[in-house]
């Protein structure tokens, strides 16, 4: 179960892969990456899903992958689903098994089936045998003293949620509060990945 | 497939059955009932889940049943689930088959896994062979011109969502806007039930 | 709420729209269509998702739409999701509001997240304001007397499930039992659509 | 982020907490515990949900908690949900944050909404800020060479699934194959917990 090699000095690698139709989810993805990059010893890479073909090696080598997509018509965008479907050969080879995984999504409605999207991402990760790290925050803005400036104002748990008005350009939406929540997810995932790989000498059961 | 008897003059019956731990979901339930009662030719009955033993006949005779529960720890409350589990003999006899069903939920967070609760209610109804009627509204409050006073400000589709601050008594929460949304659900279900029973001469396949 | 015009003699229209990567879901789709077509007064149309551009008018005119897709990597195929996303303008115009909807899926595993796919289809329909009709069958093959030949041997409720071995061509999979279950769904939806449109004089609330 | 203390010699603690109405889920729970106990350096404790009041300290001290419940009427049993709801004060204090979590379920149908139960357990764990470990197996019995004796014959990913005929006593159901799958989950969770706590010096972000 163990071997005597010390942990390597290779940085922890977090890849944030996302689709963004109008730029809002990209803003959120950048915040997740920023959060991850702020953790000492982490390399955080941002990959737009249309560029995935240049980044399969990064994904295969990652300690953690964070998946991000807008919520379109009650689930992940077709563009992002095309990427998920394209991982099927990797699933059959179990290449991503035991990596950490996390997710985020943006849509115009405050609920708007965002939970369904995050659950779809989590289910996908479960099929790959990945380990899921959620947002890890209490809900914000749930008392008279609360505010839309609270971390996790949208009260998500499975991942980071963001809300962008349908008529707001990505310069203005999602708001700073949702970007801070996304940043928190990045920080949490990078820290978890450092912890998880520190003990890489213990292999999980096949 | 048809017979020549005219529709009876018996009113359409809608039963709203709910659990409420602190009174907020009860306010929402009353709004749903009010909406249903406002449709001509409808009898709308409100049943607190702790009184269900006096109302099984009402449930069995209903054209539509609307299920309501707070979201506790990521799903329906245990008290409401105990009622759902107690319907098992009726399921085996398929007594509620082809009735209309709908649902609503309240919690402190704006998301807070409300969608999971509504989906749990819908899955339950599917097991019974019921037909599910959602909220039928576009999302509110998704543009610069929007407001928290919009119908469906929480952007739910499977059913009616309400949000009540954790420190607000039921005199003040959920807010009037969420009560209007709940009322809309009641109206929609009662209208759908009238339409559905009008053609009671056509029996669905077993 | 009513007007005095008699029901028209136009047939009830059911459209079955599907994606199939290897042919198995197509077999299931044909069975659904066959079931619907067997109901007197029904026109049942089968549309492969790649041909949708020639069939938007059929979809807009349908009384009921049945959605079918393989389960790929924990949800609807990207090809089918592209169709769902393309309905967004119709959603904004609420063109499919109050139509009946139903769904089916095929995958290699007996569970294999088929439920997640059916729930994704149902959520999509809820966003459109459609009314969801499930399978309406008790589970098959759950006692010592049961058999894999039972209707609904896979014990689904939200829609029709089928299972096809990963190495079986569509001439042999899904098995006849799953085709009968799919046919049942088609029959049920067509009957429900006849019942629902019979009372077209009652308009649901907006 | 780190300190210099070596890992303690305290065993890794896995608690399996379950409800079982007729004994089948108990058989599954025992298999999960057996799998966990077989990992060197693990203490695995089995807790029936009706005895939880004597075991809150064990739960609070656990490195990993595995949640198990039958699927009743489309979700966790009311008895198990009552336990989930009773953890609410612990959630507010974030006492279970960053523990590992996993889940399992049994029902009579091969699908039968088992996935919904596992997702409900996962959502609950996400609210607590726990980290979710799935089954980590490829699907069994999906080719002509496959068999119901395959590990993961039911093709679940989020957790361990078991199927017990409605008329089979727990001496005979769930079958040995589903018990082996449950045992695998226990082994995987215990190994993951050992790995996760090995690096306890790295604290996750609050």
pLDDT (tens digit per residue) in B142-196: 999 999 999 999 999 999 999 999 999 999 999 999 999 999 999 999 999 999 9
- Which range, A124-138, B1-15, D1-15, has the best average confidence (pLDDT)? A124-138
Domains of chain D: 12-137+150-164+173-204 (3.40.50.360)
C157, C198, C204: residue with CB nearest B136:
C204
Render pLDDT for A15-73 as a digit per residue (tens, 0 to 9).
999 999 999 999 999 999 999 999 999 999 999 999 999 999 999 999 999 999 999 99
- What is the Cα–Cα distance from A136 to A55, expressed in whole angstroms? 28
Whole-angstrom distance, CA of residue A133 vs CA of residue D100: 10
Q: Write out pLDDT tens, residues D185-202.
A: 999 999 999 999 877 666
Average pLDDT value for residue range C18-22: 97
- Mean local confidence (pLDDT), C62-77: 98
Q: How far is residue C60's CA from residue B76's CA, in Å, rounded to a whole number?
A: 36
Give me the residue from C81, C116, C119 closest to A78, CB to CB.
C81
Are B190 and B12 contacting, i.e. CB atoms less than 8 angstroms apart? yes
* C134/B134 touch (CB, cutoff 8 Å), yes or no: no
Q: Is A1 on the interface with D (CB under 8 A)?
A: yes
What would you report as the CA-atom Rg of chain C, rounded to the nearest whole angstrom? Answer: 17
Chain D interface, mutation test: which of A132, A159, A197, most D Cβ atoms within 10 Å?
A132
Q: State how far the Cα of D94 lies from the Cα of B203, in Å rounded to an integer.
A: 53
- CA distance to partner chain C, nearest, from residue D121 (Å): 15
Asked whether the beta carbons of residue B85 and residue D74 sit closer than 8 angstroms, the reply is no
Q: Do B127 and D73 touch (CB under 8 A)?
A: yes
Which of B14, B119, B126, B200 to mutate to probe the C interface, most C CBs <10 Å? Answer: B126
- Nearest chain A Cα to B160, which residue? A111
Q: How far is CA B115 from the centre of its chain?
A: 14
Shortest Cα distance, chain B CAs vs residue D107, angstroms: 13
pLDDT band at B9 (very low <50, low <70, confident <90, very high): confident
Query: Which structure tokens are listed for D61?
Result: 């001290």
Average pLDDT over residues C135-161: 96
Q: Are residues A78 and C87, on separate chains, in Cβ contact within 8 Å?
A: no
Which subunits have 3 or more CB–CB pairs within 8 Å of chain A?
A: B, C, D
Interface of D with C in 132-151 (CB under 8 A): 139, 141-144, 146
Q: Does pLDDT of A5 surpass 80?
A: no
What the block records as the tokens of A51 is 């560029």
Direct distance between the N- and C-terminal alpha carbons of chain D, in angstroms, rounded to an integer: 12
Q: Residues C190-198: what's their mean pLDDT? A: 91
Q: What Å distances lie between residue B64 and B12, B102, B103, D30, CA to CA? A: 8, 8, 11, 42
Residue D1 has pLDDT above 60, yes or no: no
Pairing, β A131-133 against β A75-76 = unpaired
Counting other chains too, the contacts that B1-10 makes at CB distance below 8 Å and 24 or more residues apart are B1/B202, B1/B203, B1/C40, B1/C191, B1/C194, B2/B201, B2/B202, B3/B201, B5/B201, B7/B197, B7/B198, B7/B200
Check if D205 contacts A (Cβ < 8 Å): yes
Which residues, numbered 99 to 128 in chain D, qualify as contacts with chain B under a Cβ-Cβ cut-off of 8 Å? 113, 116, 119-120, 123-124, 126-127
Cβ atoms of A156 and A143 closer than 8 Å:
no
What's the confidence (pLDDT) of residue C73?
Answer: 98
Q: Which chains sit next to B, with 3 or more Cβ pairs under 8 A?
A: A, C, D
Query: Residue A37's CB: how many other CB atoms inside 10 A?
Result: 18
Distance, in Å, from the CA atom of D139 to the CA atom of D146, rounded to the nearest integer, reads 10
pLDDT at B200 exceeding the cut of 90: no
Indicate the helix (H) or strand (E) that contains D24: helix D24-37
Per-residue pLDDT for A3 more than 70?
no
Task: For residue B172, count CB atoms less than 10 angstroms from its CB and return exposed for 0-12, middle for 13-18, buried for 19 or more.
Answer: middle
Looking at the predicted structure, is the pLDDT value of residue A79 above 50? Answer: yes
| Cβ atoms of B28 and B78 closer than 8 Å | no
Q: Which of residues 7-36 of B touch A (CB under 8 A)?
A: none
Task: Specify the 3-state DSSP secondary structure of C153.
Answer: coil
pLDDT, tens only, C157-193: 999 999 999 999 999 999 999 999 999 999 999 999 9
Residue of D22, D72, D111, D155 to mutate, testing the C interface (most C Cβ within 10 Å of its Cβ): D111
Report how far Cα B165 is from the mean position of its chain's Cα atoms.
22
Mean pLDDT value of segment D12-18: 97
Give yes or no for residue C2 having a pLDDT over 50: no
pLDDT band at C124 (very low <50, low <70, confident <90, very high): very high
d(CA A84, CA C38): 38
- Smallest CA–CA distance, residue D46 to chain A, in Å, is 21
Query: Which is more confidently placed, A85 or B197?
Result: A85
Q: Which residues contact B89 (CB under 8 A, 6 or more apart)?
A: none
Residues of B with CB below 8 A from C122's CB? 122, 132
Residues of C in contact with B158 (CB under 8 A): 123, 126
Instruction: Kindly tell me if the per-residue pLDDT of C8 is higher than 90.
Output: no
Q: What is the Cα–Cα distance from B68 to B26, expressed in whole angstroms?
A: 9
- Phi, psi for B12 (deg, rounded to 5): -65, 135
* pLDDT for the residue D4: 42
pLDDT single digits (tens) C82-97: 999 999 999 999 999 9
Q: Do B115 and A110 touch (CB under 8 A)?
A: no
Other C-beta atoms closer than 10 Å to the C-beta of D83 total 22
Nearest CB among B78, B113, B124 relative to D74 is that of B124
**Min distance D157 CA to chain C CA atoms (Å):** 8
In which band, very low, low, confident or very high, does the pLDDT at A206 lie, cut at 50, 70 and 90?
Answer: low
Residues comprising chain B, all counted: 206
Instruction: Say whether D75 and B75 touch across the interface (CB within 8 A).
Output: yes
Of residues A205 and C66, more confidence is placed in C66
Please judge whether C144 and D167 are an interchain contact, meaning their C-beta atoms are less than 8 angstroms apart. yes
**pLDDT above 60 for B84:** yes
Indicate whether C152 pLDDT > 90.
yes
Give the pLDDT mean for A142-159: 96
* Residue B139 near residue C126, CB atoms below 8 Å: no
Report whether B206 contacts C184 (CB < 8 A).
no
Angle, helices D114-127/A114-127, rounded to nearest 10 degrees: 110
CA distance C91 to A156: 26
B131, B138, B187: residue with CB nearest C131: B131
DSSP string over D125-176:
HHHTT-EEE----PPSS-STT--TTSTTTT--SSSEEEE--TT--TTT-S-H
Give the up-direction half-sphere exposure of residue B135: CA atoms within 13 A in the CB hemisphere. 31
Distance from CA of A74 to the nearest CA of C (A): 5
- For residues C99 and C129, what is the distance between their CA atoms, to the nearest angstrom? 8
Query: Are A124 and A158 contacting, i.e. CB atoms less than 8 angstroms apart?
Result: no
Out of B110, B113, B144, closest to residue A165 by CB? B144
Distance between A194 CA and the closest CA of chain B, angstroms: 29
Q: Mean pLDDT throughout B19-25? A: 97
Chains touching D by CB (3 or more pairs below 8 Å): A, B, C
Pairing state between β D75-76 and D64-72: antiparallel
Per DSSP (E only), the strands in C19-98 are: 42-48, 64-72, 75-76
Residues 6+ apart with CB under 8 A from A173: A24, A27, A163, A164, A165
Show the DSSP H helices in chain A as ranges. Answer: 24-37, 56-61, 78-86, 88-92, 114-127, 176-198
Residues A154, B109: C-beta atoms closer than 8 Å: yes
- pLDDT tier at D2, thresholds 50, 70, 90: very low
Parallel, antiparallel or unpaired: strands C42-48 and D42-48: unpaired
Closest CA to C57 of C98, C13, C18: C13
Residues A78 and A46: beta-carbon distance below 8 Å: no
How confident is the model at residue D206, as a pLDDT? 64
pLDDT of residue D6: 47
Instruction: For chain A, say whether C166 makes contact (Cβ under 8 Å).
Output: no
pLDDT surpasses 50 at D169: yes
Chain D positions in Cβ-Cβ contact with residue C112 (cut-off 8 Å) = 139, 155
> Are D111 and C113 a contacting pair at CB < 8 A?
no
pLDDT at D8 over 60: no
Q: What is the pLDDT of residue C180?
A: 98
The shortest C-alpha distance from B50 to chain C (Å) reads 28
pLDDT at D3: 41
**Lowest mean per-residue pLDDT among B197-206, C59-68, D27-36:** B197-206
DSSP codes of every residue in B47-110: EEGGGGGG-HHHHHH-SEEEEEEEEETTEE-HHHHHHHHHTHHHHHTTTTTT-EEEEEEEESSS
Best mutation target among B71, B110, B171 (most A Cβ atoms within 10 Å) is B110
Q: Which residue in this structure is represented by tokens 């409300």?
A: B114
Structure-token pair, residue B179 = 């009560």
Find chain A residues with C-beta within 8 A of C103's C-beta.
none
Collect all residues of chain B within an 8 Å Cβ-Cβ radius of residue A146: 165
CB-based contacts of D40: which residues, under 8 Å, 6+ apart? A1
The rounded distance, in Å, linking the Cα atoms of C166 and A2 is 36
Assess whether pLDDT exceeds 50 at residue D62: yes
Terminal-to-terminal C-alpha distance of chain A? 12
The DSSP secondary structure of D52-65, one letter per residue, reads GGG-HHHHHH-SEE
| b (16+ CB within 10 A) / e for D34-50 | bbbbebeebbbbbbebe
The verdict on a CB contact (< 8 Å) between B142 and A109 is yes
Distances (CA, A) of D204 to B133, D1, D21: 43, 9, 38
Give the C-alpha separation, A140 to B189, whole Å.
33
Do the strands A64-72 and A12-18 form a parallel or antiparallel pair, or are they unpaired?
Answer: parallel
Predicted confidence band of residue C27 (pLDDT cuts 50, 70, 90): very high
Taking an 8 Å cut-off on Cβ atoms, the answer to whether B126 and C137 are in contact is: no
Please report the pLDDT score of residue B5 as a whole number: 47
Contact C182, C35 (CB under 8 A): yes
Give yes or no for residue A6 having a pLDDT over 50: no
Q: What residues form DSSP beta bridges with A102?
A: A66
Q: Pairing relation of β-strands B131-133 and C131-133?
A: antiparallel
Tell me whether residues B127 and D113 touch, CB distance under 8 A.
yes
Q: Categorize the per-residue pLDDT at B136 as very low, low, confident or very high, splitting at 50, 70 and 90.
A: very high
């Amino acid at each position: 179960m163990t071997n005597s090699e010390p942990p390597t000095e290779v940085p922890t690698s977090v890849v944030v892969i996302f689709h963004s139709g109008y730029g809002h989810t990209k803003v959120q993805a950048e915040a997740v990456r920023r959060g991850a990059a702020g953790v000492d010893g982490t390399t955080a890479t941002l990959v737009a899903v249309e560029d995935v073909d240049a980044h399969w090696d990064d994904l295969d080598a990652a300690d953690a992958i964070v998946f991000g997509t807008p919520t379109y018509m009650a689930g992940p965008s077709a563009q992002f689903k095309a990427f998920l479907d394209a991982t099927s050969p990797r699933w059959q080879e179990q290449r991503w098994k035991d990596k950490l995984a996390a997710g985020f999504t943006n849509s115009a409605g405050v609920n708007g089936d965002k939970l369904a999207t995050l659950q779809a991402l989590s289910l996908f990760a479960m099929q790959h045998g990945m380990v899921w790290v959620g947002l890890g925050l209490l809900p914000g803005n749930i008392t008279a003293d609360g505010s839309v400036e609270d971390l996790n104002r949208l009260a998500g748990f499975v991942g980071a949620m963001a809300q962008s008005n349908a008529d707001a350009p990505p310069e203005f939406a999602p708001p700073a509060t949702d970007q801070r929540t996304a940043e928190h997810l990045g920080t949490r995932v990078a820290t978890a990945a450092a912890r998880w790989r520190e003990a890489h000498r213990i292999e999980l059961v096949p």
